[in-house]
């Protein structure tokens, strides 16, 4: 069975994601789609609006056949490490192709870009350093350097978020000598950061989350598949809550107000003395106010959110250093076709599959378990919170 791999967050699963899954299967001529999905905390350093189990089931009910969890120490990372972890998992699961959405929509510019970067690697690194000396953040410096050196040659605008992330997938597959063939489909209708719902009902996850928080679930019904709407409705009626950073602000504030700069410096990505800036703003009345106080041109909103996520989950620099490559495939769910694929190919996988956590996995999956327990602390209902704290061990994979 031919499997196509996709890398996703589904925050939440919407109509654009449905199109991506369908077109990925068609474009790569694959019999099933395997998704590597971020867990309860996401690449831009924020809690997922819904828990990973619900998001995985939404995907399985809308065209995905297997969902594996991207471990925390790859999920909450800048693009290159995020992509490397995801690509390694898809390769380990036997995918013959990887398909991503992009603003460009053609794979040739990505491949041309890869060859140009290999050819001009030293020049690129020097240009990025020069841009950072001008006060740019690393992502901004890299995007500007790519634009100056390669845009007119490769025809790929790497200042666009999906182009940049897609390029990292192509680059990671090449660096790791993966046999997966890369494909891309063009992102349509809304842009990645759009905050308003689109008239075509293909809206950004950003706009859907914003509308759900401000006006309620019913306002996004046409912008998500039926499974997403019904499952979210059931989740809320059963006592679940939509999660955002404000629910975790008291924990962050307490940590910053009671910790020394020296102890904070052990947290992953806490660099260049930013801990002093975070402590100075800790008396803020809300997460939003705090972020506006600490954000600068050099320290982007995303970079600060990732630091705070690591602070919240107590993820140390040594934790990440000890987990430089994926060591397991954590199963979140599968369809009947997914089960058939596993039965046929699992013996050939490059990594072991964990279908249900047990105590023997506690050390191997320690960071993921800690992240799930931390996510659970955002729920205000103590009974629901307790249920979520133990969920990694009590909830079996979703099987449709």
The answer to whether 101 is annotated as binding is yes
pLDDT for the residue 141: 86
The answer to whether 10 is annotated as binding is yes
Rounded to an integer, what distance in angstroms lies between the CA atom of residue 33 and that of residue 356? 21
In 168-200, which positions are buried (b, 16+ CB within 10 angstroms) versus exposed (e)?
A: bbbbbbbeeebebebbbbebeebeeebeebbee
User: Quick one: 16 and 85 in the same domain?
Assistant: yes
Terminus-to-terminus CA distance in the chain, angstroms?
19
The answer to whether 191 is annotated as binding is no
Dihedral sign (CA 311, 46, 25, 165): negative
- Domain containing 287 equals 245-321
Dihedral sign (CA 208, 209, 215, 221): positive
pLDDT for the residue 19: 96
Q: Please name which of 64, 44, 48 lies closest in space to residue 56, comparing C-alpha atoms.
A: 64
The answer to whether 20 is annotated as binding is yes
The answer to whether 8 is annotated as binding is yes
DSSP state letter for 98: E
CB neighbours of residue 213 within 10 Å: 12
User: Quick one: 298 and 373 in the same domain?
Assistant: no
User: Quick one: 332 and 264 in the same domain?
Assistant: no
Q: Tell which of 301, 321, 341 closes a domain.
A: 321
Is the residue at 310 inside a domain? yes
User: Quick one: 89 and 34 in the same domain?
Assistant: yes
Is the residue at 216 inside a domain? no
User: Quick one: 311 and 337 in the same domain?
Assistant: no
User: Quick one: 81 and 42 in the same domain?
Assistant: yes
Q: Tell which of 295, 321, 347 closes a domain.
A: 321
* Count of the separate structural domains present in the chain: 2
pLDDT for the residue 154: 79
User: Quick one: 337 and 382 in the same domain?
Assistant: yes
User: Quick one: 289 and 378 in the same domain?
Assistant: no
Residue 115, CA atoms < 13 Å, CB-side half-sphere: 8
Is the residue at 302 inside a domain? yes
DSSP state letter for 259: -
CB-based contacts of 138: which residues, under 8 Å, 6+ apart?
78, 128, 132
CATH number, domain at 360?
Answer: 3.40.50.620
Torsion of CA 139, 140, 146, 147, to 10 degrees: 150
Residue 223 contacts residue 236 (beta carbons within 8 Å): no
**How does pLDDT run along the chain (400 residues), one tens digit per residue?**
999 999 999 999 999 999 999 999 999 999 999 999 999 999 999 999 999 999 999 999 999 999 999 999 999 999 999 999 999 999 999 999 999 999 999 999 999 999 988 988 899 899 999 988 888 878 788 888 888 888 778 788 888 899 999 999 999 999 888 889 999 999 876 666 677 899 889 999 999 999 999 999 999 999 999 999 999 999 999 999 999 999 999 999 999 999 999 999 999 999 989 999 999 999 999 999 999 999 988 888 999 999 999 999 999 999 988 777 899 999 999 999 999 999 999 999 999 999 988 889 999 899 999 999 999 999 999 999 999 999 999 999 999 9
Task: Give SS3 for 354.
Answer: strand
The answer to whether 162 is annotated as binding is yes
The answer to whether 254 is annotated as binding is no
pLDDT for the residue 136: 83
The answer to whether 9 is annotated as binding is yes
User: Quick one: 305 and 331 in the same domain?
Assistant: no
Rounded to an integer, what distance in angstroms lies between the CA atom of residue 259 and that of residue 145? 38
Is the residue at 152 inside a domain? no
The answer to whether 78 is annotated as binding is no
Is the residue at 334 inside a domain? yes
The answer to whether 187 is annotated as binding is yes
Task: Give SS3 for 200.
Answer: coil
Q: Please name which of 352, 350, 356 lies closest in space to residue 334, comparing C-alpha atoms.
A: 356
Rounded to an integer, what distance in angstroms lies between the CA atom of residue 19 and that of residue 218? 22
The answer to whether 15 is annotated as binding is yes
The answer to whether 176 is annotated as binding is no
Cα maximum dimension of the chain: 58
Rounded to an integer, what distance in angstroms lies between the CA atom of residue 150 and that of residue 168? 15
The answer to whether 14 is annotated as binding is yes
Is the residue at 368 inside a domain? yes
């Amino acid at each position: 069975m031919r499997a196509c791999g996709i890398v996703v967050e589904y925050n939440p699963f919407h109509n654009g994601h449905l199109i991506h899954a369908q077109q990925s299967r068609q474009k790569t001529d694959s019999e099933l789609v395997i998704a590597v999905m971020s867990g309860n905390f996401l690449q831009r350093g924020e809690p997922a609006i819904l828990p990973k189990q619900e998001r995985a089931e939404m995907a399985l009910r809308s065209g995905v056949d297997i969902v594996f969890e991207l471990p925390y120490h790859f999920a909450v990372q800048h693009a290159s490490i995020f992509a490397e972890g995801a690509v390694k998992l898809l390769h380990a699961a036997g995918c013959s192709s990887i398909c991503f959405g992009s603003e460009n929509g053609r794979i040739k510019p990505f491949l041309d870009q890869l060859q140009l970067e290999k050819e001009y690697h030293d020049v690129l690194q020097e240009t990025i350093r020069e841009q950072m000396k001008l006060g740019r953040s690393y992502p901004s410096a890299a995007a500007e350097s790519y634009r100056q050196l390669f845009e007119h040659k490769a025809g790929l605008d790497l200042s666009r978020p999906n182009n940049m992330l897609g390029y990292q997938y192509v680059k990671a597959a090449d660096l790791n000598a993966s046999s997966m063939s890369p494909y891309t489909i063009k992102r349509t209708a809304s842009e990645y950061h759009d905050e308003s719902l689109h008239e075509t009902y293909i809206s950004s996850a950003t706009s859907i989350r914003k509308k759900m928080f401000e006006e309620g679930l019913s306002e996004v019904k046409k912008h998500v598949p039926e499974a997403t709407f019904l499952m979210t409705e059931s989740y809320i009626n059963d006592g679940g809550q939509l999660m955002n950073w404000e629910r975790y602000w008291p924990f962050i504030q307490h940590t910053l107000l009671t910790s020394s700069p020296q102890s904070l410096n052990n947290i992953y990505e806490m660099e260049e003395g930013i801990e002093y800036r975070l402590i100075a703003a800790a008396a803020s009345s809300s997460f939003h106010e705090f972020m506006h106080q600490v954000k600068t041109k050099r320290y982007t909103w995303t970079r600060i959110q990732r630091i705070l996520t690591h602070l919240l989950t107590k993820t140390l620099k040594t934790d990440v250093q000890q987990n430089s490559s994926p060591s397991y495939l954590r199963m979140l769910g599968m369809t009947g076709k997914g089960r058939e694929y596993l039965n046929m190919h699992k013996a050939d996988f490059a990594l072991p599959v964990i279908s249900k956590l047990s105590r023997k996995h506690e050390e191997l999956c320690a960071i993921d378990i800690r992240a799930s327990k931390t996510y659970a602390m955002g729920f205000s209902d103590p009974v629901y919170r307790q249920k979520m704290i133990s969920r990694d061990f009590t909830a079996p994979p979703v099987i449709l």
